[in-house]
Each structure stands twice: as structure tokens, then as C-alpha cells.
């Protein structure tokens, strides 16, 4: 198949593109190489993908419609997977405009592109952050999610809403996935696992927010990619509407549009996560306890029921094993 994937120099886009290339697909990877974190890491990821003949990298910004059109022409895609975004919860307090530019204007350009190209399936990366501070656990896609706590989350929810309207108006089959704290080799330097491992290795204190009273549903990258790949094949339509007593399908009544969580359904306490890192590195962390940061939520916890009903797959890798694989990669590369 022919794919247009945005964000291929990023953590998740790199892994997804690698998997699809290894399976013999053709991938045009569109990425702006933004300086939000180490651009050298992004370039290394693209260099690895470029070893495959089926990969065509394209450096450009989502906001640049002409650049996107050129990439689209090269790709002529059956499927579009939109992963490029300004990510990160905390940075959205510092630089909110970059979120509006990348995630609203940029995502609008992608759905406009889909209107012109009519792909078999458009898939978009949203986030567990759209659930805000919901207290009902675990988070199910059918739960109300209208009280976002950061502009990051608000821009992602806006993307979901825009995409629904286009799916309805122009009959574009669309799946928006909500990812839950993804981690693993080639992971992001701005995320907790990378920062903690790096700090412990260099005898620096690790900053633990919310006095450690937080928990996250961590998803190992290979599990996430498996979930994405399976969902690519589940093009939203009435034929695959889930009818079940325990799972509420979010397939829209008015459009070929569905929201799906990709998360494992276990919420790990932050202090336990720190202990796993210490055990893996064989070295204690210096803990610096800090208050809750504005915009942070106490807990994320995915209900994977819809993912399982649609694909038969549920994330498998325990966090101990995932951290071990991350540390192995970190030690080889840093």
C-alpha cells in the first residue's frame, strides 16, 4: 500500500513507518524537523528509514499547504496517518501558539488534503489528555470529554471535531486514536522516562511532580504500533459497528468517523515507575519532590475495550520489560 505519514522523524511516526516499510509498503514521510527537541535525534530516525527503498522523506511544515500538496502528489496515498504535531503537555503553557499553528491549522490542512485525495482511510493522532480531569475510570471513548485542561488537549479535541465534520460532509473514513503515554526506544527527550534515566545516569536529581501522587497508563511503542496497524485495516463503517453489552462504539451515526483509545488498561503509579527505573539501572535516583504542575492530571487509565472489540488486540508489554528495552537503547546511544 501507499502511505502518507506525517511526523516520521518523530518518535511514533518513525516506528510506524519502519514497521510499514519492513512489510514492503511505500511511505512518504512528511516532517518539519521542528526544534522542540534535539533535531539530531529526528535526523537519525529519518536516516534509518532512508535505508529502505520504499521511503521518501519530505521536510516541510504542516502549515505550508503548497509543501503538503507536493508531498501528497509524490505519495498518491491509499492511507494517510497524521502524527505530526506540537506535542507535550507542559510546553503548551509556554508556547501555546505553536500548538494552534501545528495542531489546528496544520491538522486542518491534512483533512483538506484528504478531501482532495479521497484516501481509503485517514487516521489521526489524538491524546488521552482530551479526557481532562475526568474522574470516571477507566477512560472510555464514549465518556464526555469536553473539559480540556491545557491548550495542547484543546487543540487535539479541536482536530477531532474538525475531522468529524469533514468525515460527514465529504465521506472521508476517519479514525482518531487517543494515545496514552507512549514510551520505548527512540523515545522523546522531553518525556519522563528519558529525563529520569538521563538524570540518574548523570547523578542529577529527578523532578517528581504532584509529590509523586500521579499515575499513567503507559503504552509500549511496539504495542502502540500494532494497535495502529490493526486499526488501519478497520475502516469505519456500519459493517464493523461494535454491538456489545460492555463496549460502547463511538462510530458516529452521521459520518464514517470513530474515536479509539490505544492504551493497555493498567495505570502505573509514578513512584512505582521510578522504582522500576532504579531497579533497571541498578542505581537509586535522587528524588526532588515538586508540586503538581498547572495543567497536569492526576491519573490516566485507558479502557481498551473498543480497541479489543475492533482488532482483537490489547497492549501486552509489561512496563518493567518496556523500561528495560528503553534503557538498553539509551545505553547504546548516549
Ligand X SMILES: NC(=O)c1ccc[n+]([C@@H]2O[C@H](COP(=O)([O-])OP(=O)(O)OC[C@H]3O[C@@H](n4cnc5c(N)ncnc54)[C@H](O)[C@@H]3O)[C@@H](O)[C@H]2O)c1
- Classify burial at 63, counting beta carbons within 10 Å of its beta carbon; exposed 0-12, middle 13-18, buried 19 or more: middle
Using CB under 6 A as the binding rule, the residues of this chain from 165 to 224 that contact ligand X are 179, 181-182, 188
Query: Rounded CA gap, 65 and 43, in Å?
Result: 23
Q: State how far the alpha carbon of 138 is from the alpha carbons of 153, 226, 267, 304, in Å.
A: 18, 21, 9, 9
Smallest distance, ligand X to C-beta of residue 168, A: 23
Residues 110-149 that bind ligand X (CB under 6 A): 125, 127
Within 10 angstroms of residue 136's Cβ, the number of other Cβ atoms is 11
Nearest approach, Cβ of residue 203 and ligand X (Å): 27
Which one of 70-78, 84-92, 108-116, 193-201 is the stretch in contact with ligand X (CB under 6 A)? 84-92
Residue 87 contacts ligand X per CB under 6 A: yes
- For the bound state, the minimum distance from the C-beta of residue 40 to ligand X, rounded and expressed in Å, comes to 12
Report CA Rg, the chain.
Answer: 19
Beta carbons of 191 and 183 less than 8 angstroms apart: yes
Catalytic, 36? Answer no
Catalytic residue among 152, 183, 220, 330: 152
Residue nearest to ligand X (CB): 10
Per CB under 6 A, which region of 57-65, 111-119, 227-235, 313-321 contacts ligand X? Answer: 57-65
Q: Which of 5, 9, 193, 206 contacts ligand X by CB under 6 A? A: 9
**Binding to ligand X by residue 154, rule CB under 6 A?**
no
Distance CA 202, CA 197 (A): 9
| Nearest distance, CB of residue 241 and ligand X, angstroms | 25
Q: Tell me if 150 contacts ligand X by CB under 6 A.
A: no
For the bound state, the minimum distance from the C-beta of residue 10 to ligand X, rounded and expressed in Å, comes to 2
Q: In the complex with ligand X, which residue's Cβ is closer, 13 or 305?
A: 13
Residue number with CB closer to ligand X (121 or 238) = 121
CB-wise, 39 or 289, nearer to ligand X?
39
- What is the enclosing helix (H) or strand (E) of 289? strand 286-289
Residue 18 binds to ligand X (criterion: CB under 6 A): no
CA-based torsion, 15, 17, 18, 19: positive or negative: positive
Burial 3-17, CB ≥16 within 10 A → b, else e:
bbbbbbbbbbbbbbb
Contacting ligand X (CB under 6 A), which of 16, 31, 192, 236?
31
Size of the site for ligand X (CB under 6 A): 27
Q: Which residues touch 244 (CB under 8 Å, ≥6 apart)? A: 305, 309
- Contact between 231 and 260 under an 8 Å Cβ cutoff? The reply is yes
Catalytic annotation, residues:
152
Tell me which residues touch ligand X (CB under 6 A): 7, 9-13, 31-34, 42, 61-63, 83-87, 102, 106, 125, 127, 179, 181-182, 188
Amino acid at each position: 500500500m501507499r502511505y502518507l505519514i506525517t511526523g516520521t522523524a518523530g518518535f511514533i511516526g518513525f516506528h510506524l513507518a519502519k514497521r510499514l516499510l519492513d512489510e514492503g509498503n511505500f511511505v512518504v514521510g512528511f516532517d518539519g524537523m521542528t526544534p522542540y527537541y534535539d533535531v539530531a535525534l529526528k535526523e537519525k530516525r529519518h536516516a534509518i528509514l532512508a535505508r529502505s527503498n520504499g521511503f521518501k522523506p519530505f521536510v516541510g511544515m504542516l502549515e505550508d499547504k503548497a509543501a503538503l500538496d507536493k508531498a501528497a502528489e509524490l505519495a498518491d496515498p491509499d492511507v494517510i496517518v497524521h502524527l505530526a504535531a506540537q506535542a507535550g503537555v507542559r510546553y503548551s503553557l509556554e508556547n501555546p501558539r505553536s500548538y494552534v499553528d501545528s495542531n489546528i491549522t496544520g491538522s486542518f490542512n491534512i483533512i483538506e488534503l484528504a478531501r482532495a485525495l479521497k484516501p481509503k482511510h485517514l487516521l489521526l493522532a489524538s491524546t488521552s489528555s482530551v479526557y481532562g480531569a475526568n474522574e470516571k475510570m477507566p477512560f472510555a471513548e464514549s465518556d464526555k470529554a469536553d473539559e480540556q485542561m491545557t491548550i495542547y488537549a484543546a487543540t487535539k479535541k479541536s482536530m477531532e471535531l474538525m475531522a468529524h465534520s469533514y468525515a460527514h460532509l465529504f465521506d472521508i473514513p476517519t479514525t482518531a486514536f487517543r494515545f496514552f503515554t507512549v514510551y520505548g526506544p527512540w523515545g522523546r527527550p522531553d518525556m519522563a522516562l528519558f529525563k529520569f534515566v538521563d538524570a540518574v545516569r548523570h547523578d542529577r536529581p529527578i523532578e517528581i511532580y504532584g509529590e509523586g501522587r500521579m499515575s499513567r497508563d503507559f503504552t509500549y511503542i511496539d504495542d502502540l504500533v500494532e494497535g495502529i496497524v490493526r486499526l488501519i485495516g478497520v475502516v469505519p463503517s456500519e459493517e464493523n459497528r461494535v454491538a456489545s453489552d460492555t463496549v460502547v462504539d463511538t462510530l458516529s451515526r452521521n459520518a464514517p468517523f470513530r474515536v479509539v483509545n490505544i492504551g493497555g488498561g493498567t495505570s502505573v503509579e509514578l513512584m512505582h515507575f521510578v522504582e522500576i527505573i532504579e531497579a533497571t539501572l541498578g542505581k537509586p535516583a535522587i528524588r526532588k519532590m515538586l508540586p503538581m504542575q498547572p495543567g497536569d492530571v492526576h491519573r490516566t487509565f485507558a479502557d481498551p475495550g473498543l480497541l479489543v472489540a475492533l482488532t482483537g488486540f490489547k497492549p501486552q508489554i509489561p512496563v518493567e520489560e518496556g523500561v528495560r528495552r528503553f534503557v538498553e537503547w539509551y545505553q547504546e546511544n548516549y
